Structure 1
C-alpha cells in the first residue's frame, strides 16, 4: 500500500459513520460555486458568492445545475447538504475522495460517484472524484478542484443546443456523465500511443536503460484507469434497472448509449493491459538476445584463441630438450601455424554463419 493511501485511511480511522472529513491533500483550494438555471426558453448563469445563494433554486420549476469546486470546504458542503436534505453518509462519501464509482438511491434523490480522468502537464494521469446528486429538478455536482470536462455541456445550455434545455434534470445528469465517459477515450488514446511508441522502440532495438521503469509506469497507469472505469459499468446497469421516478424511461436509452461507450473503453483497456504484459516479455526477450549475442562473440573469440594459447603454452615451457626450440625457423613456423589456425577458424565460423 502506498504512503498516500495509508495517510488517507488514517484520516477515517475511529470516525463516527457519517463524519464529513475531507481525505484529499489539497487544502488551499478556494470555494467556487456556479449555477445554471434554465428552461426551454430562458437560461440564467450565475457565479455564486456563498452556499446560501444556491438555496433559492431548490423549489423552482426550472432545471438547475449547481456545481461546487473545493471539497476541502467541509462546512459549506454540510450547509448545502442540510438544505437539500442529503443523508450524512452521502456527505461523507462526497468529501472522501477514495470512493469507488457507485450509485445510491434515496427517496428524493440519487447519489452517483465516478472518476474524472485526464493527463496533467507532466503527462501523468490524474484521477479526480466527481459526485452528483440528482433531484427532481436539480443536479448538484461536487469536484475537488477547478477544471473539468463540462465546458461543452455549459455551452449547450447557454446556446440551447441539443436536447438539454428541453428535457429534465435526469437528462442533464446524462450529459455530464457522458462528457466524463467521452473524455475517457482521450485518455485511452494517449495511453495507447505511449504503449505503441514503446513497442516500436523495443522492436527497433533502441532500448533505454530505464525501459523497465517505463513499463512499470505504464502498468500503474493502466491499473489506475481500470480501477476508475470498470466499476462504472455497475452504476449504469443500476440506472438502467432503476424504478425511481427521477429518471424517466425515455432517458434510459441515453444512459444505455453511455454503457455502450463504456464497454468500448473497457475493451481497449483490456487490450492495452495485455499489450503492456507483452511489452515486459518482449523487453526481457530482447535483453536476453543481446546477452546471447555478447556471449556468442565471447565464445567465438575464446574458441579462436584456445588453440593459439595452447601452442604458445607448449613452446613457452622451459624444458631444455625440445627439438623445435633448436630449429632455425621454428619461430616463424609456429607463427605460420597459428595464423593458419586463426584464419581457418574464422572461415569455419563464417561458413556456419556463426559470424
Structure 2
C-alpha cells in the first residue's frame, strides 16, 4: 500500500491530462503487433514503430493493434493523438494502478480492467493492467508486458469461419473481456486447491507455515476482489449504453459476461469466508494442541505430587538409634515396600484419571 501511495505522490501537482507512467517497467522495449482481418482474409504481423499503426485507422477492414509495454509514454501520446483519444484517457492508460473503469466517447469506447494469471513457480497471482480502445473498425489494446490470456481469441480469428470474423469491433472487444473474465475462473480453481490443501494440513498438523499461507491467500483474494468488484458495474454500464458502437446483437454476449463476473464475485466472497474460517481453525487447532500438551504435563505433575511426598518423607535424616525414629527404616523389606507403594499410587491415579475420562 505504501508503495502505491508513493507512486501516486510522484505525480502530485501535474496538470490534468499529462501522461506519466505509473508502475514498474516490465519489458525492455515496446512491441507492436497487428491483426488485420475481414470475412475472407486475415493478416497477422508485427511492426517496428507506432507510426506504422496509423494507417489502420481508416482501413475498411477490422484491425486489432496490440501494444506491449507502457513505460514509453511517447507511444501512448502519439497513438492517442492520431486516433483522437482524450488526454485524460491517455493518462489512465499509462497509470497501471488505475482502478478498472469505462469511458464512453462519441466515436470510441475506453475500457481498463485487470488481467490476472497464476505464477506457478512462485505460487502467486500476477496482476496486469489491460486497457483497450475500440472504434468503428479498430481495437487498440495496451498491456504491460508480452504474454496474455488471448491465445484462444487469436486462434478463433485464425479460423476460417469464426463468428468474430463476421462481427464488428464491439464483438472483438467483448471476446477480449470474456477471455479475461474466464481466466478469473482459472485463478479461482487454483485458489480452491490451495484452500483445500491448507484446510487438510490445519486439521492434521497445524504449523506456522500454514499461518503464512492463510495470510497469503487473504492478500490474493483482496487483489481479485479489487479487480472484479468494479468490473460488474462497468460491464453492466457497457451493456446498457446507447452508444451506436455497441450493436444490439452484442448486448446479449455482454450480459453473459456480466453473469460470469457476478459468479466470480460470489466465489471470491465465499473464499474470503473460507479463509477467515481457516484462521479460526488454525487458532483452534493450535489451542487444542496446546491443551493436549498441558493435559499430559498436568497428569505427570499430579502423579509425581504424592510420589514426591513419599520420597520427601523417607528421605529425611532420622537417627536410627533414637527411640523416636521412623519404624519403617528398620524393616527388612522396607525399600521394596516403598517402591511397591509408589507403583500402586501411580497406577491408582492413572485408573482414576481414565475413569474420569481425562485420559
Scaled by the length of structure 1, what TM-score is found? Answer: 0.95
Aligned equivalent of 1:25: 24
Aligned equivalent of 1:126: 126
Aligned equivalent of 2:86: 87
Partner Cα separation in structure 2 for residue 11 and residue 179 of structure 1: 34
Aligned equivalent of 2:104: 105
1:38-58 CA distances to partner (integer Å, 9 max, x unpaired)? 111122222111111111111
**Worse-superposed segment, 121-130 or 24-33:** 24-33
Q: Does 1:206 align with 2:210?
A: no
Aligned equivalent of 2:54: 55
Q: Does 1:323 align with 2:323?
A: no
Aligned equivalent of 2:348: 344
User: Is contact 1:130-1:142 (8 Å) kept?
Assistant: yes
User: Is contact 2:228-2:265 (8 Å) kept?
Assistant: yes
Indicate the SS of the match to 1:165.
helix
Partner Cα separation in structure 1 for residue 247 and residue 46 of structure 2: 30
Aligned equivalent of 1:334: 338
Q: What does residue range 1-355 of structure 1 map to in structure 2 within 5 Å?
A: 1-2=1-2, 4-26=3-25, 28-120=27-119, 121-203=121-203, 205-318=204-317, 320=319, 321-324=324-327, 326-329=329-332, 330-355=334-359
RMSD: 1.5
Indicate the SS of the match to 1:12.
coil
Partner Cα separation in structure 2 for residue 169 and residue 270 of structure 1: 33
User: Is contact 2:134-2:140 (8 Å) kept?
Assistant: yes
Partner Cα separation in structure 2 for residue 44 and residue 264 of structure 1: 36
Indicate the SS of the match to 2:131.
strand
Partner Cα separation in structure 1 for residue 246 and residue 279 of structure 2: 46
Deviation at 1:325, TM superposition (A): 5.1
User: Is contact 2:318-2:325 (8 Å) kept?
Assistant: yes
User: Is contact 1:63-1:137 (8 Å) kept?
Assistant: yes
Between the two proteins, the alignment pairs up a number of residues equal to 353
User: Is contact 1:94-1:142 (8 Å) kept?
Assistant: yes
Structure 1 unaligned runs (5+)?
none
Distance 1:282 1:73, change over 3 A: same
Structure 2 unaligned runs (5+)?
none
Indicate the SS of the match to 1:245.
coil
User: Is contact 1:36-1:46 (8 Å) kept?
Assistant: yes
Partner Cα separation in structure 2 for residue 140 and residue 93 of structure 1: 14
1:274-328 CA distances to partner (integer Å, 9 max, x unpaired)? 1100000001111011100001001111111101111222233345534335432
Scaled by the length of structure 2, what TM-score is found? Answer: 0.94
Indicate the SS of the match to 1:230.
helix
Partner Cα separation in structure 1 for residue 325 and residue 210 of structure 2: 59
Deviation at 1:13, TM superposition (A): 1.8
Distance 1:28 1:236, change over 3 A: closer
Indicate the SS of the match to 1:244.
coil
Indicate the SS of the match to 2:51.
helix
Distance 1:233 1:326, change over 3 A: closer
